Structure 1
Amino acid sequence: MVTLKDIAREAGVSVMTVSNVVNGNLSKVSKENAQRIREIIERRGYVPNASARSLAKNRANIIAIILRGAENENTLENPHNAALVGTIIQKIQKRGYYTMVNMMKCREDITQSLRTWNVDGAVFLGMFDDEIEEMCAASDIPMVFIDSYSSVRQLSNVGIDDYKGGRLAARHLIACGHRSIAFVSPPVLRTGVVQHRFAGFCDELEQHGISFRSEHQFVLESDVRPEDTMELGRRLAQLREKFSAVFVTSDQIASYLIQGMRSTGIRIPDDMSIIGFDDLMICRQMTPQLTTIAQDLEEKARLSVDILFRRLSAPAAPAESLVLDVTLVERESVAVKR
């Protein structure tokens, strides 16, 4: 069995230097030594003793990933959540930590768990803004939130410019000649994300002299129930004389709407144009391929993990709040209206 001493001897450094590299304390090691030690570790197949590392650092080496979801709802069926969580797990594991993924339905479950779990930090997805203060009070472990619009001070968060995304979607549809546009989303008042996308969408319409009409807003009762969403698609098909395009706040919802519309004979984009949000893999798997507002989930995951580990190293450091840009990706689901 390869030991720290074996690695240190071959690298020509102290055992403590090797230990610092293994435990991620890279500020104490030169880049050259760290690289050489990593190469030796990989070549010789050294596997750190997780229990010993945890005891030495008085840490569990576990990061919790917590997703908010309704009872009996599998939030990882949402491809946005699945892609984001999968990338976060990869980046945490590369730092030598383990992950514990939990789906919880209410604030009481989350706050109680934070008080009892032996974890070193937590990443939160899909939290309600009015719950975040309670979560922060429940535990003093480092926390990072994703897509939060909470006003809680000392809150580390990584989000995107949802407002700009709404404007980009409306601007593209208007440029293609559409002036009567429907808006489809999960409950608008449920998350700040949807609120900001809706606000940007409405403001862009107004800037072009278009008043958004309330009868063109369609709000789903939950994030995504496939049959309910396809039924809405069939309803929209029957109302196609009222509008020529739809802005949908997620690609997943857009995919089910398209299925529902096509089941009635509606052609996308000839009879109805659709633009989504997120730029998930399903956009390129659909027919036609979906025009959408793209966000960089890889970068969102990377920055979230970076912030968390900076707070692990320096718990008293100021909170960091980052807003990532979004872009329009044109594909085949929006037609020019003639």
Structure 2
Amino acid sequence: MMLNRLRISMGITIQTIADKAGVSKATVSYVLNDRAGEQRIPEKTRARILNAAKKLNYRKNVYAKCLASGKTMTLGLVVPDIGHLFIVEIIKTIQRVASENGYHIIIGDANDSVVREKEYFNDFMERRVDGLIIMPSPVWKNSDLVDEMNQINIPFILLGREMGAEYNSIVSDRVQGAFLATEHLIRRGSRKIAHVISNPLFLPTQEKLKGYRKALEKYDIEFDENMIIETESSCEGGLEAGHKLLKIRPRPTAVFASNDEVAMGVLKSLDKSGIRVPEDISVVGYDNLNISIFANVSLTTVDQSQREMGQKAVELLLERIKDRKLKPEQIVLMPKLIVRES
């Protein structure tokens, strides 16, 4: 039944609606394109046209509109791993802001693969997206892709990665964020601070480690390789890291985790082992995810403004779609320490 209705609606034209409503084709066009005010079309006439369109199950021909405007009103978004809550929050913001501006988002999950990033890029080009937001994988070195995007003159934003003054980018200062987290633990009296990291080849890992060491240096605390625990970037990885850190001697009095998901796993592990937080060991996460306030001990964390990142990415991209001659911008967002119970 639904398929039959769809087939019927695809054959409905503006002229069909005009005939049913007893008005001109031009009047119908003004109403359906939300331009009734330009011709001062009476409200009763407008209502009659909309009612006729509804009864006929009329749907706008989006493709015809795209051909006329030269725009598809779609944006391509490539993310490294859609499984991470931090990325999910960015995606939700991007979708909301794009929708508010009349755009749809097509999402490609590259699964930390530069090959899949290129595949999604090619697919988006075939779909004629109006612009791209690329959130590179942590090991991203795909300068060839950036060069290709520049050559075909497609507006694009690099989100979470900066590649020079000639490209539009939005990043959060992860070095400063890690410094704030570590300094907070030091000021609370800890000098044996473990740092739980993910893959050391990842740029975010390297930047956070740099901020961690910067804080240790400021307070004359010697860096100890034994205090660095490598694990998967997940709650499960945090559970594993919690078991490892309890075997370190002397035992750490504080933990700085690479993200909130890892920190939540650490909290769970410490709780199972009868370790009190923060009395025995303090814990700080990173990202300020929504879940961070729901732990048994609410998580102190670093907010790197993922919602602001998503919003500014869309705004910056739409400006470039409207005017491709605008100079590139490099936006650096400053993270904030969010102090809670842990």
TM-score (norm 2): 0.79
Structure 2 unpaired stretches of 5+: 1-16, 18-26, 42-49
Q: For the structure 1 residues 9 and 113, does the alpha-carbon distance in structure 2 shift closer, same or farther, using more than 3 Å as the test?
A: closer
User: What's the offset of the Cα at 1:234?
Assistant: 1.6
Question: Does 1:113 find its partner at 2:120?
Answer: yes
Distance 1:47 1:160 in 2: 42
Give the structure 1 partner of residue 73 of structure 2: 61
Secondary structure in structure 2 of the residue aligned to 1:278: coil
**C-alpha separation in 2, matches of 1:291 and 1:284:** 9
Point out the more displaced range, 173-182 or 50-59. Answer: 50-59
Deviation at 1:288, TM superposition (A): 0.2
Higher mean displacement: 293-302 or 176-185: 293-302
Contact 1:132–1:150 at 8 Å: present in 2 too? no
Q: Which residue of 2 aligns with 1:283?
A: 292
Distance in 2 (CA, whole Å) between partners of 1:163 and 1:251 is 17
Work out the CA distance in 2 between the residues paired with 1:92 and 1:305. 6
Q: How far, CA to CA, are the matches of 2:83 and 2:140 in structure 1?
A: 25
User: Does 2:90 correspond to 1:84?
Assistant: yes
1:230 aligns with 2:257: no
Do 1:114 and 1:138's aligned partners in 2 also have CA atoms closer than 8 Å? no
User: Using the alignment, how far apart are the partners of 2:79 and 2:284 within structure 1?
Assistant: 26
Partner residue in 2 for 1:256 = 265
Return closer, same or farther for 1:127/1:235 CA change in 2, 3 Å cut-off: closer
> Which residue does 1:239 correspond to in 2?
248
Alignment partner, residue 312 of structure 2: 303
CA shift digits 1:67-110 (9 cap, x unpaired)? 12xxxxxx333111111111111111111111111112422232
Structure 1 pair 208/202, CA: closer, same or farther in 2 (3 Å)?
same
Alpha-carbon spacing, 1:109–1:329, altered in 2? closer, same or farther (3 Å):
closer
| Cα distance in 1, alignment partners of residues 82 and 103 from structure 2 | 21
Alpha carbons of structure 1 residues 297 and 128: separation in structure 2 relative to 1, 3 Å: closer
Q: Who is 1:131 aligned against?
A: 141
Task: Provide the alpha-carbon RMSD of the alignment.
Answer: 2.6
Deviation at 1:50, TM superposition (A): 2.4
Partner AA of 1:184 in structure 2: V
Q: Report the counterpart of residue 28 of structure 1 in structure 2.
A: none
1:10 aligns with 2:23: no
In structure 2, relative to structure 1, the CA distance for the partners of 1:316 and 1:177 (3 Å cut) is: same
Q: Cα distance, 1:130 vs. partner?
A: 4.7
* Fraction of identical pairs, as percent: 23
The 3-state SS of whatever aligns with 2:285 is strand
Once the two structures are superposed, what CA deviation does each residue of 1:92-137 show, in whole Å capped at 9, x if it has no partner? 1111111111112422232243234322211122434653412213
Q: Provide structure 1 residue ranges, at least 5 long, that are not aligned to the other structure.
A: 15-40, 69-74, 334-338
Distance 1:292 1:8 in 2: 49
Deviation at 1:60, TM superposition (A): 2.2
Residue 292 of structure 1 deviates from its aligned partner by 0.9
1:228-253 deviation line (CA, Å, top 9, x unaligned): 43122122233374210011121111
Partners of 2:222 and 2:107 in 1: how far apart? Answer: 44
1:154 aligns with 2:166: yes
CA distance change for structure 1 residues 312 and 230 in 2, over 3 Å: closer, same or farther? Answer: same
**2:236–2:262 Cα contact (<8 Å) kept:** no
One of 142, 145, 152 as aligned partner of 2:155 = 142
Amino acid at match of 1:122: L
Where do residues 20-59 of structure 1 align in structure 2 (5 Å cutoff)?
49-59=61-71
Q: Is the 8 A contact 1:159 1:322 kept in 2?
A: yes
| Distance verdict in 2 for CA 1:3–1:79, change over 3 Å | farther
Q: Is 2:191 the partner of 1:179?
A: yes
- The answer to whether the 8 Å contact 1:165/1:327 transfers is yes
Give the aligned length: 295
- 1:171, 1:13 → 2: CA distance? 64
Aligned residue in 2 for 1:170: 182
Counterpart in the other structure of 2:108 = 102
